[in-house]
Amino acid sequence: MEVAGQNTNIISARDLGVVACMRCTQVWPAGTQACGRCGSAIVSRDHKSLQRVWALWLVGLMCYVPANMYPMLQTRTLLSVQEDTIVGGAVELIHHGAVGIALIILIASVVIPLGKFMAIAFLAISVKRPSSVSNHHRQMLYEVVEYIGRWSMIDIFVVAIMSSLVQLNTLAAVNPGRASLFFALSVIFTMLSAQAFDSRMIWDVRTRQEGAPLDE
């Protein structure tokens, strides 16, 4: 594996007086407004991005509440109609002995979304005030959040597949509940929130606070 450049004294583009296009990585002199190669807007540090992060984060969190209160699935069988929320459905599965699937569902639709909210909030706070977590770990956390965010959609797809497939006339039918809409919105807004975050700011804190004691 080749490393482009020396490991020692790495400087950031901003300190060198240049700015890179975040889309196509072309380097321009500092102050360039738009990339001459791909046309994307260029900013050295998008400080307003934190506002966008928090706004989208809040909308995502607000959508996550009804996503858990309303039923996700409505199962109609010959004898009964049953409406399950996300957690209720998982509890039901545990009663039926399917602990494994219940765990997958709980992790995918409760643990990961909540973890994402916390991780994004932590990252957004950590660029403002010094944190004891190293830049490498925070960068890794950011990449995990960006990568895993999409996978929460799995719940929506499960509901879609089940409700289109299980349509056996009077015998049994599964229909999507209102929560599915809110859950999808919540996932989409958290993805947008994570994308709005400018990860270059993670590395600025270090340079700015170099030598300053960590007030922990």
Partner 1 sequence: MDQSSPIPLDKLIVCTHCDAVFTLERPQVGQRAICARCGTVLITPRRKAGLQIIAVSFAITILIIAATVFPFLSISAAGTTNSVSILDAALAFSDGPLVALALTTAALIIFVPLARVLLTIYVLVPIVLDRPPARGSTQAFRLAEALRPWSMAEIFVLGCAVALIKISDLADVAFGPAFWMFSGLVVLVVVQDNFLCRWSVWKSLDKTQTS
- Site residues (CB under 8 A) for partner 1, limited to 159-178: 159-169, 171-172, 176, 178
Considering only 22, 62, 121, 133, the residue that binds partner 1 (CB under 8 A) is 22
Residues counted in the chain: 216
Does 79 bind partner 1 (CB under 8 A)? Our answer is no
Chain position carrying tokens 């010959």: 78
**Segment lying near partner 1 (by CB under 8 A), choices 13-21, 52-60, 113-121, 123-131:** 13-21
Does 101 bind partner 1 (CB under 8 A)? Our answer is yes
Q: What is the Cα–Cα distance from 128 to 131, expressed in whole angstroms?
A: 9
Does 127 bind partner 1 (CB under 8 A)? Our answer is no
Binding pattern for the stretch 140-159 against partner 1, x by CB under 8 A and - elsewhere? ---x--x--xxx-xxxxxxx
In the bound complex, what is the minimum distance in angstroms from residue 211's beta carbon to partner 1?
A: 19
Considering only 33, 37, 70, 79, the residue that binds partner 1 (CB under 8 A) is 37
In the bound complex, what is the minimum distance in angstroms from residue 197's beta carbon to partner 1?
A: 11
**Residue whose C-alpha is closest to residue 46's, from 200, 207, 208, 189:** 200
Structure tokens at 202: 């993670």
Strand partners, 172: 77, 168
Reduced to 3 states (helix: H, G, I; strand: E, B; else coil), residue 106 is helix
For the beta carbon of residue 183, count every other beta carbon within 10 angstroms.
Answer: 26
